[in-house]
Structure 1
Amino acid sequence: MNDIPEPNNESDSSAPIHEARLWRDDGWTARVIKNEDDDGWAVEMIKDGEAEPALVGPWTMGRDKKNPKPLDTGAFNTLVKTASEVLRRHEQQLHALLHKSIAVTTDSGTINVVLDIVPDEDDPYAMLSATDEFGDAIAEVRVAPTFKLTRASAEAWIESGYRKPR
């Protein structure tokens, strides 16, 4: 049913491929596929070692208005740049979700309170830590991954003498 070429698994999987509908180079694979939503074509960009595409987008029709435009160096390089940006934004979003920090001013100076969530499938948890303004560790405790780091919770933890929050 699908006449789109698949990479040949018997050959070196890192060997470059430069075909009209399949282009693999520099750690990326671009594959032109039939667009499931309409009569057109789409291109998917997959980073080596990943199971899911980082990017799937519409692809231009060729001159015959029936077949897709062939991949080329310029298009591939643009797709790599776009897919890399998508991955970078995803990583930044994930980091922001899993890493929170608040600076609290106390009588003894500024204390940086950090919550790092470890999204382990079997045993997720978070580490709550405090450092002084010079980066020296003051305290660290393991907390539930659902712990909410707010200015009030950070101040309460500091005032409690860094006892594990409930």
Structure 2
Amino acid sequence: MTDARTPPPEISSGVSSSPTGDARIQEARLWCGDGWTAKVIKNEDDDGWAVAMIKDGEPEPALVGPWTMGRDKKNPKPLDGNAFSTLVKTASEFVRRHEQQLHATLHQSITVSTKSEERVTVSLDIVPDEDNPHALLGAQGNDGEQLAQVRVAPSFKLNRASATAWVEGGFAKPAERG
């Protein structure tokens, strides 16, 4: 039997333990667990509310999105288990897609054929070092053997034409443009 003064479980605040022993905060505007924190915040752009999803150990939210108003049309709807699970899944997928996009930007490859009909895979690996950003342009033969590697500017554009020119030029370091 529920006491009229006790809020229902989905609205109650408190701390519980997860199966791994981590403390889980489950409050109306703050939930923590599964490596994430969901925090309902005032939307700076209008009179509504937003929810910020922050990955444990990160200083900034990975994702901020609109949050539903409560029945009084003034306060936010309280977080609950289902909403938190959905938010964790959405934020995790968003982070995963961002990491895939970053990886694709920093690591590119293209396969070209030489005049002797050999196939060479040319790769460009960008090293986003704050003090000394650069990229490594590499070539591998069909057997996976490294044929060449040179250091180039991180702005080097890898495409079929630049890869073919580098291979046909005997893997000489491409001229810097600027």
| TM-score category (smaller protein) | 0.7 to 0.9
* Residue among 91, 106, 124 paired with 2:133: 124
- Identify the match of residue 93 of structure 1 among 94, 97, 101: 101
Question: Which of 94, 99, 102 is the matching residue for 2:110?
Answer: 102
2:86 is matched with 78
Residue-pair matches, total: 153
Structure 2 spans left out of the alignment, 5+ residues: 1-21
Q: What percentage of residue pairs aligned between the two structures are identical?
A: 71
Query: 1:8-157 maps to which residues of 2 (within 5 A)?
Result: 15-106=23-114, 107=116, 109-157=118-166
TM-score (norm 1): 0.88
Structure 1: where are the runs of 5+ without partners?
Answer: 1-13
SS at match of 1:32: strand
The alpha-carbon deviation at position 102 of structure 1 amounts to 1.0
- Give me the whole-angstrom Cα distance separating, in 1, the residues matched to 2:71 and 2:55: 29
Work out the CA distance in 2 between the residues paired with 1:151 and 1:66: 57
Structure 2: distance between partners of 1:72 and 1:52? 23
Question: Which SS does the other structure have where 1:129 is aligned?
Answer: strand
CA offset digits 1:69-93 (Å, max 9, x no partner): 1111110010011111111111122
Q: Larger deviation: 31-40 or 154-163?
A: 154-163
Find the aligned partners of 1:123 and 1:15 in 2 and give their Cα distance: 41
Runs of at least 4 residues of structure 1 off by over 6 A?
none
- Of 89-98 and 110-119, deviating more is 89-98
CA–CA distance in structure 2, aligned partners of residues 152 and 35 of structure 1: 48
SS in 1 for 2:44: coil
Give 3-state SS (helix, strand or coil) of 2:23's partner.
coil
Deviation at 1:120, TM superposition (A): 0.8
Shift of 1:108: 5.0
Letter in 2 for 1:81: K
Q: Counterparts of 1:45 and 1:158 in 2: how far apart (Å)?
A: 47
SS in 2 for 1:122: coil
1:5 paired residue number: none
Q: Distance in 1 between matches of 2:156 and 2:73?
A: 55
The normalised TM-score by structure 2 is 0.82
Partner Cα distance (1:49, 1:134) in 2: 42
